[in-house]
């Protein structure tokens, strides 16, 4: 049974989970887009970030990292295309990974839904780095806002957006 946990953001907790987190990062991402240990630690201790871990029978099988959009160092073109930079209403998923042998069980979807439920008033955005991740995002009602043609190493990546439901009553 998969459960989503939010670890405490302490050095002791980081030391407890870092081996699992770094292993998932290494297994799931190519070297050119893999976050470094120092980058992951910086996001881990960022007060406004969200770190979610998917646990299955006491093993960490997936991670989701999200930070306020304004914490990202995007170029002006992306900020302008999104149109919400500076409004403090958007979380950006920097990292979403599930171990290969635990994929197709809904783990990524569970983590994304957890993030959405935690921030019901916020937009959630992410780059879909492959067709599988794009499909996962689309199943949760993310829409492609545009395709970023200058993503890591000049790879094209759909920029996906989830808009919260508005109360028009």
If one counts the domains in the chain, the total is 1
DSSP class per residue in the chain: -EEEE----SHHHHHHHHHHHHHHHHHHS-GGGPPPHHHHHHHHH-TT-EEEEEEETTEEEEEEEEEEGGGS---HHHHHHH--TTSS-EEEEEEEEE-GGGTTSSHHHHHHHHHHHH-TTSEEEEE--SHHHHHHHHHTT-EEEEEEEEEGGGEEEEEEEEPPPP---
Residue 10 lies in a domain: yes
Residue 141 sits in a domain whose CATH number is 3.40.630.30
Residue 49 lies in a domain: yes
Residue 73 lies in a domain: yes
Residue 168 lies in a domain: no
pTM: 0.89
Q: What is the pLDDT of residues 16-71, one digit of tens each?
A: 898 999 899 889 887 767 677 787 887 787 888 899 999 999 999 999 999 999 88
Domain housing 114? 2-162
Residue 132 lies in a domain: yes
Residue 169 lies in a domain: no
Instruction: Give the pLDDT confidence score for residue 150 in this predicted structure.
Output: 73
């Amino acid at each position: 049974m998969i459960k989503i946990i939010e670890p405490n953001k302490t050095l002791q907790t980081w030391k407890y989970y870092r081996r699992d987190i770094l292993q998932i990062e290494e297994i799931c991402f190519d070297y050119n887009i893999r976050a470094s240990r120092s980058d992951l630690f910086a996001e881990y201790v960022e007060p406004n970030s969200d770190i979610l871990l998917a646990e299955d029978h006491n093993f960490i099988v997936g991670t989701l990292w999200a930070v306020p959009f304004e914490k990202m160092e995007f170029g002006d073109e992306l900020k302008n295309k999104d149109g919400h930079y500076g409004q403090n209403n958007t979380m950006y998923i920097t990292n979403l990974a599930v171990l290969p042998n635990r994929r197709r069980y809904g783990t990524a979807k569970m983590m994304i839904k957890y993030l959405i439920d935690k921030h019901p008033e916020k937009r959630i955005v992410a780059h879909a780095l492959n067709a599988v991740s794009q499909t996962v995002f689309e199943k949760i009602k993310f829409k492609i806002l545009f395709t970023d043609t200058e993503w890591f190493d000049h790879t094209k990546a759909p920029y996906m957006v989830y808009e919260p439901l508005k109360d028009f009553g």
